[in-house]
Amino acid sequence: MPRSIESGGAPRPIGPYSQAVQVEATGLVFTAGMVGNDPATGKLVGGGIEAETERALDNLEAVLAAAGLTFADVARTTVFLVDLAEFPAMNAVYARRLGAHRPARSTVGVSALPLGARVEIDMLAARRPA
């Protein structure tokens, strides 16, 4: 049975969904897509694509931590970008934050994102066997 995961370190969902769901039988954790909104205010951070990517990853890191996981446990990510010309700037922040760990990833160009965000990222993580 899936179990909802919530973290105060990430913004509350803006719709009827969980920040993440863990499937106990498999150890898989599926995050919701996170944009660069500040958990304290709910507002999108200023500073462009780099700042939004940084904040989105902060939000995801907090949700993973609530599940007892880190970026090292991430198997797959999906990045949604409003402007694919901003890929290099997003990618530089992403690469720095994930370090040497390289999960599988898709990057998709979209016409719009919630709150007027420029980037949204979701993750699939796997709990390591004991």
Give the amino acid at 127: R
Q: Kindly state the tokens that stand for 81.
A: 């970008």
Per-residue pLDDT tens digits for 12-40:
988 899 999 999 889 999 999 999 999 99
CATH number for the domain harbouring residue 27: 3.30.1330.40
Residue 110: CA count within 13 A, CB half-sphere: 16
Question: Residue 95: which residues within 8 A CB-CB, separation 6 or more?
Answer: none
Q: With 70 as the cut, is the pLDDT of residue 45 above it?
A: yes
Domain limits at 21? 2-126
Which is higher by pLDDT, 128 or 42? 42
Strands 74-81 and 119-126: antiparallel
Per-residue pLDDT tens digits for 65-117:
999 999 999 999 999 999 999 999 999 999 999 999 999 999 999 999 999 99
Interatomic CA distance for residues 119 and 123, integer angstroms: 14
pTM of structure: 0.95
Domain count across the chain: 1
Confidence (pLDDT) at 129:
67
* H runs (alpha helix) in the chain: 48-66, 87-98
Residue 129 CB neighbour total at 10 angstroms: 5
